[in-house]
Structure 1
Amino acid sequence: MARKGDFYPFNDYKVEDDVAKIFFTNTKREKFEILVDLDILNYLKKINHHWRASYRKKADSYYAQTILHDEYLIGYYKTKTPYLHKMILEAETKKDQYIHHINHNTLDNRRVNLEITSNKNNSMDRNGQNSNNKSGYRNVCWDKNSKIWVVQIQLNGVNTRLGKFEDVKQAGKFAEDMRLKYYGKYRGTSNKFKHYNYTKIILEE
């Protein structure tokens, strides 16, 4: 008897040099590519499950995930619906540990793009602003009382104001520079200000 999920065998894929691209198309006809190393491709072909790009609202990103049917695999990975990045690192992450996709492509599951990090670092190293952000720039908000743009970031667990600006783009650039200064490699990425210089900084008094 066919089991639920057996109608979807292992995905189509393509090998380019030392990287495999696993293809997935969702019900909206959106196409995704999941990247893995060749030894992982061989393992996934062997266990013969279908992989999909699952959207996680909290992270606003897609992650490679499957539904396991084999009882041994379910026991080994301690879940019926494992994420591929956790399977690859065989991660039994602690409460304050997460797997970080270094280049921010959460469907790129090559080992070179995965590292176990803390929740603090993983949260710092994200793309874009919060969903309720009105400025269009991460760490920039509007102060209604002062009628000015404010840059604030988390330092040692505390929201800290670092500057005030009349121009929102200047505030956005300053915020990006402050993330680089205080967060280092976990600052997140942005190409908005590649050739932009800010002026007329109004620092917090």
Structure 2
Amino acid sequence: MAKAQITCSVDDCNLKVRSKGLCGKHYDRMRAHGTTVFRTERTLSVRPVQIVGDVAYVTLTRGYHAIIDASDAQAIGTHNWSAFMGKRTVYAARTAKLEDSPFSGTIFLHREILNPANGFYVDHISGNGLDCRRGNLREATCAQNAQNSRRRKDNKSGLKGVSWHKQRGAWVAQISVHGKRRHIGLFPTKYEAHEAYKEFSKQVHGEFGRSA
């Protein structure tokens, strides 16, 4: 009399058989999807990276493309990258299993390229999160990264650091320094307020200051 199969018939799976030679995990997968192979185990086609001269274009999801140096194309082109919608710009990212952890996490293209020191951010000098050429990336602290951010979407003046002071009937210029709002002054026009903001930003934010 033939001996009953004890372990799952799937390679490298030593779990106890539930039905039809499969363990519970693989049996449920077969019933639901018609295959015992999980998505993370499938071989996915990698979208090609297009090299044009000194730059390369990485095809993302949602119709977006990221731009990188051609010298980084070989390393970056081994994975598929997706469009990650940030608050003020779009980034390129992928999901991967974290080291020494059973969980997956998000890996951003700009961090993959620059590989910053622990505790540091990667700042896009132009403010374009999809321009990941090394000349557009720099290490930054959290505060420096925030200083180079674009103006808020709810800014009604159209100029960074400038808002209307209804009680005073004038335009006010304000700036954030070390996480605290600092009052620069009141001005008759929003353009004068913005000029004051830009000048003050140069003094306190230096190269990380952004005026638009």
C-alpha contact (below 8 Å) 2:174/2:181 kept by paired residues: yes
Hey, what does 1:134 align to over in structure 2? 156
Question: What letter matches 1:44 in structure 2?
Answer: I
Structure 1 segments of 4+ aligned residues over 4 angstroms from their partners: 4-8, 76-79
CA distance in 1, matches of 2:52, 2:124: 21
User: 1:145 and 2:145 equivalent?
Assistant: no
Judged with a 3 Å threshold, the aligned counterparts in structure 2 of structure 1 residues 21 and 5 are, in CA distance, closer, same or farther, namely farther
SS state of the match for residue 91, structure 2? Answer: strand
Q: What TM-score comes out, normalization by structure 1 length?
A: 0.73
Residue in 2 that maps onto 1:36: 68
Length, aligned pairs only: 175
Q: Alpha carbon RMSD of aligned pairs, Å?
A: 2.7
TM-score normalized with structure 2 length:
0.70
Deviation at 1:156, TM superposition (A): 5.0
Listed as ranges, the gaps of 5+ residues in structure 2 are 1-36
Higher mean C-alpha displacement, 175-184 vs 117-126: 175-184
State the partner residue of 1:195.
none
Percentage of identical aligned residues: 25
Compare CA radii of gyration and give the structure with the larger one.
2
Q: C-alpha displacement at 1:5, in angstroms? A: 9.5
TM-aligned CA distance change 1:156 to 1:189, over 3 Å: closer
Pair 1:189–1:174, CA change in 2 (3 A): closer
For residues 75-131 of structure 1, the C-alpha deviation after alignment (integer angstroms, 9 at most, x for no partner) is 28995321111122333531xx21111222211112222211111111111222x23
Query: What is aligned with 1:104?
Result: 127
Structure 1: gaps (5+ residues): 191-205
The question of whether the paired residues in 2 share the 8 Å contact of 1:126 and 1:189 is answered with: no
CA distance in 1: counterparts of 2:172 and 2:211, whole angstroms: 20
Correspondence for 1:117: 140
